[in-house]
Amino acid sequence: MIRIGIELNHVVRNLNKQVIKYYCRDIDPSLDPDKFDYKDDVFKIFKFDDERAKNDFIYIDYPYELFGCAKAMDGDLPREMNKWLYELTNYEDDEVEVFYYSMGEDSLTIQSSYFFLSKIGTRVRKVLFPLQFSEVLDNADVIVSASEKSLSEADGKYRIKIKNNFNGDGKADAEYDSLIDMMKDEELLNKLHKYITEK
């Protein structure tokens, strides 16, 4: 079996666009949201008084707006994902299991994330909100992420990087501009099957 773990933020869900919107609207209205690139690390750009103020912004003040109301990274992504999931059932060389995961989520962001997933009409059967990244690694052979930290910690796994402006040096076995580009790679499953069988 090929088990593929796909991180939600910056791969499926455009979290940064929501952060830009609500920070510029409610924290610093002098900023123009159109001047920021959602592919940047917005939490390094935007300033908070301290870590607690930042966490309040994410987990208390705007969890629904950031995690629930976000859009998919690409307008066609939900449709392409469901099409790809169907195509996986016809892959004859191996069984393929896909799951979503999201690190660092808390009570209000978790329920908001379920709303996001229902809104995009996902057909992925399994979702993890782990406390430790080791739980993701225990469930996956392949990690699809835009997080430099996740990619660097996924030693022994096939690492697929979805490129952003903040993950240029992240370790990866393959790189794509978007999740859609990854799903359109007709050789991907054969590469993954070879990697799993040769491990």
pTM above 0.85, yes or no: yes
The dihedral built from the CA positions of residue 183, 188, 192 and 195, taken in this order, carries a sign that is negative
Residue 160 tokens read as 């697929």
Question: 62 Cβ partners below 8 Å, 6+ apart?
Answer: 18, 22
Domain boundaries, the chain: 2-12+73-198, 15-68
pLDDT in tens, 139-175: 999 999 999 989 999 989 999 999 998 887 768 999 9
pLDDT in tens, 37-87: 888 889 889 999 999 999 999 999 999 999 999 999 999 999 999 999 999
Is the pLDDT score of 93 beyond 90?
Answer: no
In whole angstroms, give the CA distance from residue 142 to residue 99. Answer: 10
CATH of domain 2-12+73-198: 3.40.50.1000
